[in-house]
Amino acid sequence: MKRRDFIKTSLSAAAIAAGASGCRELPKDPKLSHEKKSFHYNRGKRVKIKLATSWPANFPIMGEGIERFATRLTQMSGGSIEVKVFPKNVLVPALGVFDATSAGAIDAYHSAAYYYKGKNEAFNLFTGFPFGMTAQEMNAWLDWGDGMKLWRELYAKYNLVPFKGGNTGVQMGGWFKKEIKSLDDLKGLKMRIPGLGGEVFAKLGVKPTLLPAGEIYVALERNVLDATEWLGPSLDTKMGFHKVAKYYYTGWHEPGSMLSLVFNKKKFDKLSDEQKLMIEIASQELNATMLSQFQLENARQLKVVEAAGVKIDQLPSDVLKAAKKAMLEVADEKSKKSADFKRVWENAWAFLELNKKWTEIGLEKYLEIR
Ligand code: CA
């Protein structure tokens, strides 16, 4: 059989297997392409992109990921797009990247949306939320639901165009120096925990503290902090937390945190359609490979955590129950204050509700028997 005939036969067989009506109901096109008009190729156009990150130089996985994105984009564009990556504090401070890109002082950045919640509470939700979506569900919301549409609409007001910038996967609940046996043990606890997770824990009596990355270990060692979250075994062991805290609780507050890759809109709009598409595709690759790298590194470093005699456990059920209730209160309060938060929250919540059942029937049941 000729190759073309083989493909034709295979495709029609696949269509029959899937059921013709089922196929038609599938979404036709992911909401990924920036524009759907016909392409105007412009291979001769060359552009340089100055991209700043919120990470230190040579930062594992996240920093490596954005460096790889830059290299791959230059390679696949045959040099038509040249991206130069600058670690934090070289061009702008770690958390100055949003404003610098918005103003056009730099062309792009790699960071996380929830760091900028002070500008707009809705930004929290493009990173994720406690008891919210897994990485897989977050991808589905952004690719096939309204997630990316809402993100782009909102960021356009700030002269920005966001893309998926990689996902950490489920994060651990954090390191505690003392065992948490019930809700009472959280009262007055000093913990480094940012974002919505921090606001939820604050309602449970925790005193959320924000410390620069370089100061957390010492604060924990000297009991200035009683607990800290960071990410998962992959990066937590590099911080040395397993040496000073012996209780490591499983995740609840960052179930699939999405990083953001964001371009200045004026600069982005001037690119050729071909260049825009290459950025879109390179972002998808960055997103997928960062998640798979976190998976493997977490698995490897979990052995280091276990070897250190750390007790890994789930937080007590009264804590989790109270935290879940507090999350809904936090969302309710923010919805009353911010129309943007309300709009994005309602959309994300409905998407989560739709997907929950399938994730339970599909993945969760499988994991129970594996
Ligand atoms: Ca974290």
Q: Which residue range forms the structural domain that includes residue 212?
A: 174-255+308-369
Extract the runs of DSSP E, i.e. beta strands, from 76-189.
81-86, 108-111, 160-167, 174-176
Residue 45: the pLDDT is 82
The Cα 174–Cα 186 span in angstroms is 13
Q: Is 239 within a domain? A: yes
Average pLDDT, the chain: 91
d(CA 124, ligand 1 centre) in Å? 13
pLDDT > 70: percent of the chain:
88
Residue 228 shares a structural domain with residue 127:
no
Give the per-residue pLDDT at 29.
53
Q: Are 331 and 238 in a shared domain?
A: yes
64 lies in the same domain as 143:
yes
Q: How would residue 210 be classed by pLDDT, with cut points 50, 70 and 90? A: confident
User: How many domains, the chain?
Assistant: 2
Q: Are 119 and 85 found together in one domain?
A: yes
Residues with Cβ < 8 Å from 298, sequence gap 6 or more?
169, 232, 233, 234
Could you read off the pLDDT of 232-242 as tens digits, one per residue?
Answer: 999 999 999 99
**Chosen domain end from 240, 268, 296:** 296
CA of 168 to the centre of ligand 1 (A): 9
The pLDDT confidence band at residue 212, using thresholds 50, 70 and 90, is confident
Residue 273 has pLDDT above 70, yes or no: yes
d(CA 194, ligand 1 centre) in Å? 7
Q: Which of 34-38, 286-290, 350-354 has the lowest mean pLDDT?
A: 34-38
81: CATH: 3.40.190.170
Amino acid at 350: A
- The span from the CA of 259 to the CA of 305, in Å, is 25
Average of per-residue pLDDT across 86-100: 96
Q: Strands 190-192, 174-176: parallel, antiparallel or unpaired by DSSP?
A: unpaired
Do 250 and 266 reside in the same domain of the chain? no
What's the CATH code of the domain at 244? 3.40.190.10
Distance 90 CA to ligand 1 centre (A): 24
The predicted structure's pLDDT at residue 41: 60
Average pLDDT over residues 98-105: 98
Backbone angles phi, psi at 249, to 5 degrees: -100, 150
User: What average pLDDT does range 284-299 have in this prediction?
Assistant: 98
Question: Which value, to the nearest 10 degrees, does the dihedral of the CA atoms of residues 216, 218, 221, 227 take?
Answer: -10
Instruction: Give 254 Cα–ligand 1 centroid separation in angstroms.
Output: 6
pLDDT in tens, 6-64: 444 444 444 444 433 333 455 555 555 445 555 556 656 899 999 999 999 999 999 99
CA of 150 to the centre of ligand 1 (A): 24
Report angle CA 288, 78, 34 to the nearest 5 degrees.
Answer: 50
In this structure, the answer to whether residues 61 and 104 fall within a common structural domain is: yes
The DSSP bridge pattern shows strands 247-249 and 174-176 to be antiparallel
d(CA 227, CA 68): 33
Q: How many residues does the chain have?
A: 370
Q: Are residues 156 and 238 in the same domain?
A: no
**243 domain-assigned:** yes
Same domain, 106 and 242: no
- Pair (329, 199) in one structural domain: yes
Does a structural domain hold residue 34? no
**pLDDT computed for residue 211 by the predictor:** 84
Residue 22 lies in a domain: no
60 found inside a domain: yes
* 102/234 same-domain check: no
pLDDT at residue 54, as a whole number:
94
Using one digit for the tens of pLDDT, what is the confidence trace for 132-184? 999 999 999 999 999 999 999 999 999 999 999 999 999 999 999 999 999 99
**Mean pLDDT value of segment 70-77:** 95
Based on the domain organization, do 52 and 147 belong to the same domain? yes
Would residue 96 count as lying in a domain?
A: yes
Residue 19: per-residue pLDDT: 38
Rounded CA-CA distance 48/8 in Å is 42
Residue 16 is assigned to a structural domain of this protein: no
Q: What is the pLDDT of residue 213?
A: 83
Q: What is the mean pLDDT of residues 192-220?
A: 94
Contacts of 252 (CB under 8 A, 6+ apart): 130, 131, 173, 197, 315, 320, 323
Centre of ligand 1 from the C-alpha of residue 236, in Å: 10
Among 296, 326, 351, identify where a domain stops.
296
Expressed in angstroms and rounded, the spacing between residue 228 Cα and the centre of ligand 1 is: 9
Report pLDDT digits (tens) over 338-348: 999 999 999 99
Residue 11 lies in a domain: no
Ligand 1 center–CA 320 separation, angstroms: 17
Q: 176 alpha carbon to ligand 1 midpoint, in Å?
A: 14
Ligand 1 centroid – CA 62 distance (Å): 13
- Asked if 124 and 98 sit in the same domain, the reply is yes
